[in-house]
Amino acid sequence: MVQMTYREALRQALFDAMTEDDTIFILGEEVGRYGGAYGVTKGLIDDFGEDRVLDTPISEAAIIGAAVGAAMSGMRPVAELMYVDFIGMTMDQLGNQAAKIRYMFGGQTGVPMVLRTQGGTGRSAGAQHSQSLEAYIMHTPGLRLVMPATVADAYHLLRQSLRQPDPVVFIEHKGLYTLKEEVDLDADEVPWGQAVVRRQGEHVVLVAYSRQVHHAMAAADTLMESGVKATVIDVRSLNPLDFKTIQTEVERVGRVAVISEGVMTAGVGAELAARISEECFDYLHDPVIRIAGEDIPISVSAALEAGSVPEPGMIVDTVRRLLE
């Protein structure tokens, strides 16, 4: 067991993978000498050199375009976008090319690349640097989508992502980089795309991912004080989606709230809620509740920013209303 931060776990995953596989290389803005916007790639250029840790021009389209071409040519690029907010500038390369190459070429070639990026709120970065755009990715067939909530998952899921035959978008919540936990680097890896039940109870199921898993766990602690026992599911991967774990717990309990930092309208929460309603309808005691971000641009004001996305108190209040 090694104690490390979320940031250090990501760096260790990259170091270990690059040591084992010399086809893996990193490219992005300021990923080399500067060490990345959040310090994840710090020092890797000293270990692997400028040929494998490439500082690129400020062009998101060029970064992803180069990664797609390299992946099709036998390499395993790890492309970093400084913020998920910039992903719209890459959607031709990512959505029209990387996601569709295997289909368009009849399975003869794929795009084994990882796009690392950062999303979410918590740093007063303003409306253009604080969004949760995972629904963009989840909506696009051909793209895998991973959003780890724990330090252990940051390490193991990135290692797994770097072995996939198709493009993986790996979104790290910017509010988790300093999270510190003990990690077993040699632990057996869970099956790709498998969710995990972080806590089990019999009154309500809370389905969450990324930083909202921690908010759900904190809410569950508060609810326990009044005798309400909540199950907390960490989805971990939105594509592939382990719906079987969600279905099993929802059918056992009968009440569920889906929690997402993304906006309410047409978001991940809406998709999960719709599917639960369709496939678990006969077991539900009440309608599925969505707890999600406001349909507004994120304010640079710390107070307004915090109030625009779910937090433990909001989850507690919503669950209590659901159980009334």
The set of catalytic residues is: 60, 129
Helices (H), 150-301: 151-161, 212-224, 243-253, 268-279
* SS3 of 67-128: HHHHHHCCCEEEEEECCHHHHHHHHHHHHHHHCCHHHHCCCCCCCCCEEEEEECCCCCCCCC
Residue 240, preceding peptide bond in cis (omega within 30° of 0): yes
CA atoms within 13 A on the CB side of 270: 12
State the Cα angle at 51 between 49 and 54, rounded to 5°: 95
CB 54 within 8 A of CB 32: yes
Give the helix/strand (H/E) hosting 321. Answer: helix 312-323
In whole angstroms, give the CA distance from residue 80 to residue 175.
17
Q: Is 181 helix (H, G, I), strand (E, B) or coil?
A: strand
Q: Is 290 helix (H, G, I), strand (E, B) or coil?
A: strand
- Classify the C-alpha dihedral 233-234-236-239 as positive or negative: positive
The residues that bridge with 232 in the sheet, in sequence order, are 199, 206
Amino acid identity at 296: I
